[in-house]
Amino acid sequence: MDNRLWVMTITTDPEAARHAADLAPAPLLDVVVPVYNEEADLERSVRRLHDYLVTELPYSARITIADNASTDATLRIGQRLAAEFGDVRAVHLDEKGRGRALNRVWRESDAQIVAYCDVDLSTDLNALMPLIAPLISGHSDVAIGTRLNRASQVTRGPKREFISRSYNLLLRVAMRAHFSDAQCGFKAMRADVARQLLPHVEDTGWFFDTELLVLAERIGLRIARSRWTGSTTRTALSTSSPPPLPT
């Protein structure tokens, strides 16, 4: 049995594409790409991500483009990609906010694991498998990448480094957080956990990631942390062998 992404007939009708997506089997992984006015980069990034998922990931997966009230051609491009690929879908929200988009899409997903990445794909896609491995195996409930681990090898500008470390120090002092790099744009969760946790996350924008992690930590969820071994533009997490397929 082939556990890679399924192949579906290409259609140019967005409504037909949505209907086909409804009939498709639920994937193991749903990768959400939240976007706002990203017409210049969206298609290139989604095609690159799709190619990686098809050729490298040993599990079924879907890409969900979450449009945050874009005023340019972002939504139309997303709908066209969804019509071309059966394992890509486009969701539109009338209000802006990355947190709002992730909260809605993650809670409504039929996948077993939900994840997100920024549209610029600044993270090396080879980081995806190590990120979701502890979720698939049942070792963890939430998985995050961190550039602030002592073992990480990341080169960033002094300003970005100072802001990032200062913010995380504030979290440790004010909220007694034990995680680092709360704003890293590469996270994943078990979907059943997301459906229970996300109704309690109130922020709809930039603070969403931090609030989610603080709540997860306070209720005792298991958070896996993966170290970075790359640069600011192309980074990679430590690699590991894929776990067995879930039964």
Where residue 26 sits, what CATH number does that domain have?
3.90.550.10
What CA dihedral angle connects 139, 144, 145 and 146, to 10 degrees? Answer: -110
**Domain membership flag for residue 81:** yes
Range of the domain at 186: 14-227
**Domain membership flag for residue 41:** yes
**Domain membership flag for residue 133:** yes
Confidence check: pLDDT of 232 > 80: no
User: pLDDT at position 122, please?
Assistant: 80
**Whether 223 contacts 142, CB under 8 Å:** yes
The arithmetic mean of pLDDT across residues 122-141, rounded, is 92
Tell me if residue 209 is catalytic.
Answer: yes
Q: What is the pTM of this model?
A: 0.76
Share of the chain above pLDDT 90, in %: 55
| Confidence class for position 134, pLDDT limits 50, 70, 90 | very high
Split into its structural domains, the chain has a count of 1
**Domain membership flag for residue 68:** yes
Burial class of 149 by CB neighbour count within 10 A (0 to 12, 13 to 18, 19+): middle
Q: pLDDT digit string (tens) for 178-192? A: 556 555 668 999 999
User: pLDDT at position 210, please?
Assistant: 86
Catalytic entry in 30, 124, 141, 209:
209
User: pLDDT at position 238, please?
Assistant: 35
